[in-house]
């Protein structure tokens, strides 16, 4: 028998509060409890009404505030009290957000849930950086991968497929493994001259971007001291940012124009 409580697995988008969906905002403003991740921006949390209970369960690299199994148990416990719970996640719950793990846990415990999609960082951050994910004659497709596995696990990906020059590669959570990612792509056949970018806190006033040739991307990012969260984009369409960049964040960009090749 299902409980009376409902858990809404809600995507809050990449950080800009204007990119929230209407449904996400409505649920945030009518919830009894909001359980939120570290990547949910302060600007978005400010839209939760005063008096609504807020529980932070954010994870930072190397410092997990609340283990995933405890988050699962927390959602179950809250739902058994016949509450409306918003589980607020950065981006989209089902794109590297572990929303499916939480949904499976809720289903096993006969707890009603709904999934509210959010704009995932791949599409939003690239758009704010002036980088189309596809473009005729430049990119025939997109691949989204995670650049961070569980603690102690090697970053094992199908590098030959990811080195396909006809696709745009987007890497989530890859800052700590950026050097490895660059080397593996080049070793697998991706041209060292491929335009690439790393974008920090995309869509927010704190957005910063480093663009460079793939071969020098990790050194340029280290010199610029970018910090998580970042999005890594590799592909010919990165060069279009020279003409398509439109967003003007408060922070300056650090970049080598992709057209400046040797």
In sequence order, what are the beta bridge partners of 85? 7, 33
The mean pLDDT value for 194-206 works out to 96
Query: Can you tell me the mean pLDDT for 13-22?
Result: 96
Least confidently predicted of 59-63, 171-175, 180-184: 59-63
**Is the pLDDT reported for residue 252 higher than 70?**
no
Provide the mean pLDDT of the chain: 91
Task: Give the residue among 43, 65, 54 at the shortest CA–CA distance from 88.
Answer: 54
pLDDT of res. 78: 95
The pairing of strands 208-213 and 195-200 is antiparallel
Of 20-24, 147-151, 217-221, which range is least confident? 147-151
Residue 156: pLDDT over 90: no
Q: How confident is the model at residue 259 (pLDDT cuts 50, 70, 90)?
A: very low
Catalytic status, residue 37: yes
Q: What is the pLDDT of residue 58?
A: 78
For residue 3, pLDDT beyond 70 = no
From the candidates 37, 92, 218, 254, which is the catalytic residue? 37
Please tell me the distance from the alpha carbon of residue 47 to that of residue 68, in angstroms, as a whole number: 26
Q: Looking at residues 39-44, what average pLDDT do you find?
A: 92
**What pLDDT is attached to residue 155?**
76
Distance CA(205)–CA(188), nearest Å, equals: 36
Q: Please tell me which residue in 23, 32, 59, 164 is annotated as part of the active site.
A: 59
Least confident of 46-55, 60-69, 190-199: 60-69
d(CA 79, CA 82): 5
Q: What was the pLDDT predicted at 258?
A: 54
Q: Residue 82: which pLDDT band, with cuts at 50, 70 and 90? A: confident
Catalytic residue check, 92: no
Q: Answer yes or no: is pLDDT of 104 > 80.
A: yes
pLDDT greater than 50 at residue 262: no
Structure confidence at residue 251 as a pLDDT band (50, 70, 90): low
- pLDDT tens per residue across span 67-80: 899 999 999 999 99
For residue 242, list its beta bridge partners. Answer: none
Residues near 64 by beta carbon (within 8 Å), at least 6 away in sequence: none
Q: Supply the pLDDT for residue 98.
A: 92
**CB distance 77 to 99 below 8 Å:** no
Looking at the predicted structure, is the pLDDT value of residue 182 above 80? yes
**Residue 250 pLDDT grade (very low, low, confident, very high; cuts 50, 70, 90):** confident
Average pLDDT over residues 42-59: 92
Is the pTM higher than 0.85? The answer reads yes
More confident residue, 65 or 212: 212
All domains in the chain, ordered by first residue: 6-116 (3.40.1010.10), 121-244 (3.30.950.10)
Mean pLDDT of 141-148: 92
Chain-centroid distance, C-alpha 42: 16
């Amino acid at each position: 028998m299902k409980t009376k409580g409902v858990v809404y697995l809600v995507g809050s988008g990449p950080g800009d509060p204007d990119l929230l969906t209407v449904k996400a905002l409505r649920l945030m403003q009518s919830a009894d409890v909001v359980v939120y991740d570290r990547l949910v921006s302060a600007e978005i949390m400010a839209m939760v009404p005063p008096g609504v209970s807020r529980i932070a369960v954010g994870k930072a690299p190397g410092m997990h505030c609340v283990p995933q199994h405890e988050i699962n148990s927390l959602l179950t416990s809250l739902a058994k009290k016949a509450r409306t719970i918003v589980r607020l996640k950065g981006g989209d719950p089902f794109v590297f957000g572990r929303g499916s793990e939480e949904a499976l846990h809720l289903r096993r415990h006969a707890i009603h849930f709904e999934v509210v999609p959010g704009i995932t960082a791949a599409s939003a951050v690239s758009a704010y950086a002036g980088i189309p994910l596809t473009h005729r004659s430049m990119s025939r497709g997109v691949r989204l991968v995670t650049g961070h596995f569980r603690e102690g696990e090697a970053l094992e990906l199908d590098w030959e497929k990811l080195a396909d020059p006809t696709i745009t590669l987007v890497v989530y959570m890859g800052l700590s493994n950026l050097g490895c990612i660059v080397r593996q792509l080049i070793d697998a056949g991706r041209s060292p001259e491929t335009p690439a970018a790393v974008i920090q806190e995309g869509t927010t006033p704190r957005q910063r971007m480093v663009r460079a040739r793939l071969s020098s991307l990790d050194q340029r990012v280290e010199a610029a001291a970018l910090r998580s969260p970042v999005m890594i984009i590799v592909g010919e369409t990165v060069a279009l940012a020279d003409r398509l960049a439109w967003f003007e964040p408060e922070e300056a960009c650090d970049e080598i124009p992709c057209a400046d090749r040797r």
